[in-house]
Amino acid sequence: MSAFPETSMTLLKKIAVQVTGEREAAWVRFFGLYEPAIKRFVAWHDSSHDPDDVVQDIFLKLVNVVQSGGYDSSKGSFRAFLATMIRRHLVSLYRKDQARGAGLHVDIDDVEPSVSADVAEQIDLKWRMARHQSAIEHVLTKTAISAQSRDIYRAYVEEERSLDEVAAQFGVAKAVIYKIKSRVEQMAAIIEEEFADEK
Amino acid sequence: MGSVYEVEHEQLGVRYALKAFTAQDDYADILKKKFLAEGKVLARLRDPHLIRVFDLAIDEATGVPYFVMDIITYSDGVPHTLDDVELGDLEEEYVVDWFEDLCKALDYIHAQGIVHRDIKLGNVLLREDRHVMLSDFGVSRIFGAGLSREINVTRTIVSDGKTETKLVMGTEGYMAPEVLRGQDATPAADVYSLGVMFFHLLTGLWYEPGTRALALLDSFKYRWRDILSRMLSVDPQDRPLPLSDLPRQLQPIESPEDLVPTKLKRSALWGGFWKRWYFILAAAVVVLVLVIATMALLRSNSKELLPPSQDDFNELFSSSDVFQPEEVGK
């Protein structure tokens, strides 16, 4: 656990602090949520990409966009701008891979998404799921909920084992399992609120 | 500003930590003063959750100042701070213990007229018994009348459109809002930093005022939200001081595991069951039915005790097997 990890996003964080005047901690928090969500999306999408590389690539491109004057503060918050750009890059990645699969040529630097409504809907759904799952994972791996709660949640929800089986294994009543599931999801919902609205 | 070495006393064979001043930058002179001040501050403190300093000196050959202090290692024999802890491996009970340890330590140094000013995960050492000790008083400040010995490090602050250069010390993510605005740090600023640290330990998030993230604290076994929301108040006056009473206020609340007991808690199950209103209602219905049945029974029994009516006599004497009196005078 590092307070302010030195990663590729450091430069973008500094720019964000300069642009918004917000504390660095606020941006550590912002990127701390987006990074795992992006990685999860990429991992689901296509195993041919290294999620770390995609994250680096996205943040570097964001730096370039911001430094070349791509952000207009009159059109919305910097947070929402970043969130929108991240989504666009993910759409672009998806589109390129689809085109590559169909034997089409796509410019690697083309980040302007141009996909059908169905595909866009599919990507949005995947992106929402990625954010939701990374929020759940945050609750399970980065908060001080009890180890038993964590294990019960994983057994019942992620491993999809039956209520009876989980209750017997952990020696708890079924109501406890429901309660734990509900609490983890409530916490995840609060964390999901931390993601910025995309334009 | 300093490097820490593990050393052993030649005669006693006891291991200590030696912190030597190693900074070489433009601020070296200022930092050297801060370093020596830290040693002096630590040397006068005695608390089970604070690092003890045994010696403070300047090496004659090199001119490097140093101080010798307790070496605190974890069970693996290596020093660890809370910054090394994997949040996902944390049990809430540990966090509760650490909270108590640090409240006591801070309460003690505040009573000594000292503000730590740099409370953060990296300045809390884990002991082998899983309790913690507060360290690194490098930016601490003696406060109070006649004791002000602050060492100034300046920083440019932009506030209300004005730019000014003021003292700001500590670590950005943990700093109280008033300190960020350039005000002097008081014990209340330590309380805020402690609140940020525990919020992070519990939720894995950096505290950000104005978000709904405090609601995450409702999901824990202890009443963290009550405590931390006060510690993280924007107004320093609203933060709880002294800290000594806070651990006692950190009461456990109902946890999911306690809501419905395991097989081992069967007695508790019955205890809770009796309290349920529908059980009481069912019991009341049963009692009512019993009362009605008893009354009905008593009523039927009481009919047998009434005096015989004329019909009863007629029925009795018309029966063939009953004695018939002979006619008189036959």
Q: What average pLDDT score do residues A25-49 get?
A: 82
Taking each helix axis from N to C end, the angle separating B187-203 and B92-111, rounded to the nearest 10 degrees, works out to: 170
- The per-residue pLDDT for B241 is 93
What does each C-alpha distance from B291 to A157, B64, B285, B288, B296 come to in angstroms? 51, 94, 10, 5, 9
Cβ of residue A186 closer than 8 Å to a chain B Cβ: yes
pLDDT at B304: 53
Total tally of structural domains belonging to chain A: 1
- Round to whole Å and give the CA distance between B99 and B199: 11
State whether residue A138 sits within 8 Å of chain B by CB: yes
Over the stretch A134-175, which tens digit does the pLDDT of each residue have?
999 999 999 999 889 999 999 999 999 999 999 999 999 999
Residue A110 contacts B where some CB pair is shorter than 8 Å:
no
CATH hierarchy code of domain B2-259: 1.10.510.10
pTM as predicted: 0.73
Is the pLDDT reported for residue B329 higher than 80? no
**pLDDT score for B15:** 87
H/E stretch holding A45 reads helix A24-45
What distance lies between CA B264 and its chain's CA centroid?
27
Position of tokens 């919305």? A76
* % of chain A beyond a pLDDT of 90: 29
Q: Check whether A17 has a pLDDT greater than 70.
A: yes
Catalytic residue status for B118: yes
pLDDT tens digits for range B26-83 = 667 777 777 777 777 778 888 999 988 888 888 888 888 888 888 888 888 888 889 8
Query: Cβ–Cβ of B255/A25 closer than 8 Å?
Result: no
Q: How does pLDDT run across B292-310, given as a tens digit for each residue?
A: 888 888 876 655 555 556 6
Residue A105: pLDDT over 50: no
Assess whether pLDDT exceeds 60 at residue A106: no
Measured CA to CA, the distance from residue B170 to residue B138 in angstroms comes to 10
In a domain, A142, yes or no: yes
Q: A149 to chain B: which residues are within 8 Å by CB? A: 256-257
pLDDT for the residue numbered B147: 30
What number is the average pLDDT over the span B100-119? 91
b/e sequence B183-208, b meaning 16+ C-beta within 10 Å: bbbbbbbbbbbbbbbbbbbbbbbbbb
What is the sign of the dihedral through the CA atoms of A111, A115, A121 and A123? negative
Contact (CB<8Å) B87/A23? no
The answer to whether A135 faces chain B, any CB pair under 8 Å, is no
Residue B166 pLDDT greater than 60, yes or no? no
Instruction: Report chain B residues whose CB lies below 8 A from the CB of A1.
Output: 83-87, 121
Does B219 contact A145 at a Cβ distance shorter than 8 Å? yes
Looking at the predicted structure, is the pLDDT value of residue B97 above 90?
yes
Do B208 and A1 lie within an 8 Å CB cutoff?
no
Kindly report whether the peptide bond that precedes residue B48 is cis, defined as omega within 30 degrees of 0.
no
* Residue B228 pLDDT grade (very low, low, confident, very high; cuts 50, 70, 90): very high
| Residue A1, in any domain of the structure | no
How far is the C-alpha of A26 from the C-alpha of B210, rounded, in Å? 11
For chain B, the three-class secondary structure string (H helix, E strand, C coil) is: CEEEEEEECCCCCCEEEEEEECCCCCCHHHHHHHHHHHHHHHHCCCCCCECCEEEEEECCCCCCEEEEECCCCCCCCCCCEHHHCCHHHCCHHHHHHHHHHHHHHHHHHHHCCEECCCCCHHHEEECCCCCEEECCCCCCEECCCCCCCCCCCEEEEEECCEEEEEECCCCHHHCCHHHHCCCCCCHHHHHHHHHHHHHHHHHCCCCCCCCHHHHHHHHCCECHHHHHHHHCCCCHHHCCCCCCCHHHHCCECCCHHHHCCCHHHHHHHHHHHHCCHHHHHHHHHHHHHHHHHHHHHHHHHHHHCCCCCHHHHHHHHHCCCCCCCCCCCC
Question: Which whole number is the average pLDDT over B98-125?
Answer: 92
Of residues B85, B215, B257, nearest to A1 (C-beta) = B85
Classify residue A5: in a domain, yes or no.
no
d(CA B51, CA B140): 14
Residue A2 lies in a domain: no
When pLDDT is cut at 50, 70 and 90, the band that residue B108 belongs to is very high
Nearest to A135 by CA among A55, A34, A49: A34
Structural domain range at position A103: 10-192
Instruction: Give the model's pLDDT for residue A4.
Output: 43
Mean pLDDT of A172-191: 93
Residue B186 CA to chain centroid, in angstroms?
Answer: 22
Structural domain includes residue A26: yes
Most confident of A97-111, B131-145, B177-191, B249-263: B177-191
Structure tokens at A64: 């370039």
Residue among A32, A23, A164, A7 at smallest CA distance from B204: A32
Most confident residue range from A163-167, B123-127, B277-281: A163-167
A132/B32: higher pLDDT: A132
- Among A142, A156, A183, A194, most B C-beta atoms within 10 A, so best to mutate, is A142
ipTM for this model: 0.80
Q: Which residue among B47, B118, B136, B190 is the active-site one?
A: B118
